[in-house]
Amino acid sequence: MQYALIKAGRVTNVIVSSPEFAAQIAPQWERVEPLETEQNQGVGIGWMWNGARFLAPAHAHVAAPRMVSVLGFRRRFTPAEKAAIEWAAVDRADQPDAQRKQAAELRAMLADQAAATFIDLDDAATTGGVRKLEAMGLIGAGRAAQILGAPVQLEERP
């Protein structure tokens, strides 16, 4: 069955899945709406949801969501960057509290990534997290823009 995945009153993706999977991912969305009726045929990315029915987009161009798999996201980082991030996330008792807290924040970010179904490259938590890695010096200057701004490749898609 097809389902519309809705955020901020807009269809951001349409998937084909079982009802069980749709129920499992529902907490990540404002609404997961089945597209089983004839009136919902043709609903796609960019359509609006007014709480009762779908509305066709007013304009022809709708930006596609920029979502990648968790592995696809990790592969946007170099091996050296991944190693630096992992090393900075280690809790070392001999470090000052500020560094230990920063390591805990990194571990929490890594845990969130590992638990994610996909990574939305335009999500505020994603962009903020990658920019924070750059500010911490764990990735080079300008790398946040490269990691977040690179076009989504077919092999990166969830």
What is the DSSP code (8-state) at residue 92? -
d(CA 119, CA 72): 9
pLDDT digits (tens, 9 = 90+) for 40-91: 778 888 898 998 888 888 765 556 779 999 999 999 999 999 999 999 999 9
pLDDT digits (tens, 9 = 90+) for 27-41: 999 999 998 887 777
Q: What is the pTM of this model?
A: 0.60
Q: Are residues 40 and 98 in the same domain?
A: no
pLDDT digits (tens, 9 = 90+) for 116-158: 999 999 999 999 999 999 999 999 999 999 999 999 999 999 8
Domain that holds residue 85: 67-156
d(CA 39, CA 54): 9
Q: Are residues 71 and 129 in the same domain?
A: yes
Helix (H, G, I), strand (E, B) or coil at 105: helix
Q: Are residues 73 and 27 in the same domain?
A: no
Q: Are residues 114 and 151 in the same domain?
A: yes
The C-alpha angle 58, 62, 64, rounded to 5 degrees, equals 155
Average pLDDT, the chain: 91
Structural domain contains residue 151? yes
Query: How many separate domains does the chain show?
Result: 2
Q: Are residues 48 and 73 in the same domain?
A: no
Q: Are residues 51 and 80 in the same domain?
A: no
pLDDT at position 102, please?
95
Structural domain contains residue 61? no
Structural domain contains residue 77? yes
pLDDT value at 17 more than 70? yes
